[in-house]
Amino acid sequence: MIVMKFGGASLSTADGILKACQIVKKYRKKNKIILVVSAMKGVTDQLFQVSDYLKNKKIKESLELVEKIKKQHIKVLYKFDRRPQAVKVESDIINLISRLITFIKNVSQKKITPARVDFIVSFGERLSCSVVVDALEMNGVIAHSIDASYIVATNNNFNNAIPLYKKSQHHINEILVPLIKNNVIPVVTGYIGFTHDGCTTTLGRGGSDLSAAYLSNLLGAEALYLWKDVSGFYDKDPNKNTQAIKYDKLTYSKAKSLAKKGAKIIYHKAVEPVRKKNIPIFVKSFLNPGDKGTIVSS
pLDDT of 108 above 80: yes
In the DSSP assignment, the letter for residue 245 is P
pLDDT of 253 above 90: yes
Q: How does the average pLDDT of the chain come out, rounded?
A: 95
Residues, the chain, total? 298
Closest C-alpha to 154, from 169, 144, 165: 165
| Strands annotated E in the chain | 2-6, 33-37, 143-146, 185-189, 192-194, 200-202, 223-228, 233-234, 246-247, 249-251, 281-285, 294-297
Q: What percent of the chain has pLDDT over 90?
A: 91
Q: What is the pLDDT of residue 190?
A: 97
pLDDT of 261 above 90: no
Average pLDDT over residues 148-171: 95
Q: What is the pLDDT of residue 33?
A: 97
Is pLDDT larger for residue 237 or for residue 11?
Answer: 11
CB of 246 closer than 8 Å to CB of 189? no
pLDDT of 180 above 80: yes
pLDDT digits 0-9 by tens, 113-146: 999 999 999 999 999 999 999 999 999 999 999 9
pLDDT of 172 above 90: yes
pLDDT of 205 above 90: no
Say whether pTM exceeds 0.75.
yes
Torsion sign, CA atoms 226, 231, 235, 239: negative
Q: What is the pLDDT of residue 165?
A: 92
CB atoms within 10 A of CB 30: 7
Architecture of domain 2-41+127-297 in CATH?
Answer: 3-Layer(aba) Sandwich (3.40)
Average pLDDT over residues 41-47: 97
Q: What is the pLDDT of residue 50?
A: 98
The count of C-alpha atoms lying within 13 angstroms of the C-alpha of 166, restricted to the half-sphere facing its C-beta, is 0
Separate counts of helices (H) and strands (E) for the chain: 10, 12
pLDDT of 238 above 90: no
pLDDT of 243 above 90: no
Q: What is the pLDDT of residue 225?
A: 98
Q: What is the pLDDT of residue 263?
A: 76
Closest C-alpha to 2, from 44, 29, 31: 31
pLDDT of 262 above 80: no
Average pLDDT over residues 11-18: 96
Q: What is the pLDDT of residue 296?
A: 97
Confidence of residue 240 (pLDDT cuts 50, 70, 90): confident
Average pLDDT over residues 225-250: 89
